[in-house]
Amino acid sequence: MDFRISDRTKTIIEMINEFVDKELIPLEVEFLNHDFKEMLPVIREKQGMVKKMELWAPNYPKELGGMGLDLVDHALVSEALGRSPLGHFVFWCQAPDAGNVEILHKFATAEQKKTYLEPLVRGDIRSCFAMTEVDMPGSNPVLLESTAVKDGNDYVINGHKWYTTAADGARFAIAMAVTNPEAPTYLQASMIIVPTDTPGFNLVRNIPVMGHSGSDYFSHGEILFQNCRVPQKNLLGPEGQGFVIAQERLGPGRIHHCMRWLGICNRAFDLLCRRANFRKISLDGKTLATRQTVQNWVAESAAEIQAARLMTLHAAWCIENIGLKESRDEVSMIKYVVANTMNRVVDRALQVHGGLGMTDDTVLAFFYRHERAARIYDGADEVHKTAVAKRILARYK
């Protein structure tokens, strides 16, 4: 793997870091203490600045209006943006829209692209992805109870979903539902585009996450499909290929997530070190930084972040150069390594901040609340570890 970063990419990252520091981090106090919908006017203003800087939609194809960065370059960008919760949304490369753009670009019809993909990339609308179900294990996407039954020229969808991120305010959902129950397991489900104003698409609530329901993009919806009728032309890709398409979406998506988590690591580490050097703990002026326990946390965090970063960039390089299927081990390993690294670094930073860390006066409590789920979504740690171990052990037989 070549570790050199092009001059163009260096310049892009420098511009992003400066923008995050000057324009986004100062907004975090308002973000942490107000309804996100109230911030949308100022967010739109910042997004306009990003467009003028020609940094809009870094991972989307150029022909759609994005920057067309490859997976490795976008990984580096995602790390820079991850330092603020607002980063990805302001630069318009946030999940779940990023994954939806990828599969729409690859599988949508010309009509679907015009109706959904083009305005999504422009930032005119948002989307959501309805796969996880209340009574089914999210770690196994082939286990679905939601159904889409043909009736005339339509599909009639029934099912109960939750953790449909950003459903509040989304214009459409991409829903996973069983269309071919008699087919082999991995060919039973399909993806269907469902406009959120369709009768029978019901946003029941924004789910409280550790006491915070959130709003608009920063929320996780519970969705009830009740005889939700959409035309069969809303089928995304071939019927029965929902699981296959999901894998196309999830592989690169894990790179995006992991690099965003590393951005969080960098921000938490920065806060940890600054606080350790600033916080006096004795009459003689000694600070937390003089204590060996804190020094150990600094050393361990620095090493763990670097190791996780190199693993993630290597996984991105593998996907680009040898393909997603051949990179399964690398992708699975970064999922649980980076998620746990982030959780440890955020926890150490919060501990160093003491009572302040528990408040929303810093961004650490937000990271602690919302990023604990990193060990659960996109496949729980235990599932990825089992999959990696089985493949490794099989090679020794």
Instruction: Out of 221, 236, 251, pick the residue that ends a domain.
Output: 236
Give the structural domain span for 326: 243-395
Cα 364–Cα 53–Cα 27 angle in degrees, nearest 5:
25
CATH number at residue 281: 1.20.140.10
Count how many domains the chain has. 3
My answer on whether 248 and 369 are in the same domain is yes
What average pLDDT does the segment 121-143 reach? 90
My answer on whether 250 and 379 are in the same domain is yes
Q: Rounded to the nearest 5°, which phi and psi values hold at 171?
A: -85, -30
Tokens of 349: 């930073």
Q: Is residue 108 part of a domain?
A: no
Q: Is 390 exposed, middle or buried (0-12, 13-18, 19+ CB in 10 A)?
A: exposed
Tokens of 86: 């607002």
Q: Is residue 1 part of a domain?
A: no
My answer on whether 169 and 279 are in the same domain is no
CATH number at residue 51: 1.10.540.10
C-alpha to C-alpha distance for 324 and 318, rounded to whole angstroms: 8
Residue 115: C-alpha distances to residues 61, 172, 194, 238, 304 (Å): 17, 10, 12, 19, 44
My answer on whether 21 and 63 are in the same domain is yes
pLDDT tens for residues 42-70? 999 999 999 999 999 999 999 999 999 99
Task: Give the long-range contacts of residues 25-34, CB within 8 A, separation 24 or more.
Answer: 25/83, 25/84, 27/86, 28/84, 28/85, 28/86, 28/363, 29/361, 31/85, 31/86, 32/360, 32/363, 32/366, 33/360
Choose among 268, 317, 247: nearest CA to 76.
317
**What is the per-residue pLDDT for 4?**
87
**What is the per-residue pLDDT for 253?**
81
C-alpha to C-alpha distance for 136 and 176, rounded to whole angstroms: 13
Cα 87–Cα 91–Cα 95 angle in degrees, nearest 5:
75
Q: Are strands 189-195 and 201-206 parallel, antiparallel or unpaired?
A: unpaired
Tokens of 91: 């630069």
Q: Is residue 189 part of a domain?
A: yes
My answer on whether 212 and 161 are in the same domain is yes
My answer on whether 249 and 189 are in the same domain is no
Q: Is 102 exposed, middle or buried (0-12, 13-18, 19+ CB in 10 A)?
A: buried
**What is the per-residue pLDDT for 378?**
84
Q: Rounded to the nearest 5°, which phi and psi values hold at 240?
A: 85, 0
Choose among 304, 250, 291: nearest CA to 103.
250
Is residue 324 over pLDDT 90? no
Q: Is residue 252 part of a domain?
A: yes
My answer on whether 334 and 224 are in the same domain is no
Instruction: Out of 211, 236, 261, pick the residue that ends a domain.
Output: 236
Q: Is residue 35 part of a domain?
A: yes
pLDDT tens for residues 345-360? 999 999 999 999 999 9
Instruction: Out of 236, 267, 282, pick the residue that ends a domain.
Output: 236
Is residue 170 over pLDDT 80? yes
CATH number at residue 206: 2.40.110.10
**What is the per-residue pLDDT for 20?**
98
**What is the per-residue pLDDT for 175?**
98
My answer on whether 381 and 288 are in the same domain is yes
My answer on whether 12 and 74 are in the same domain is yes
My answer on whether 305 and 201 are in the same domain is no
Q: Is residue 120 part of a domain?
A: no
Tokens of 159: 């099912």
My answer on whether 182 and 308 are in the same domain is no
My answer on whether 249 and 390 are in the same domain is yes
**What is the per-residue pLDDT for 139?**
72
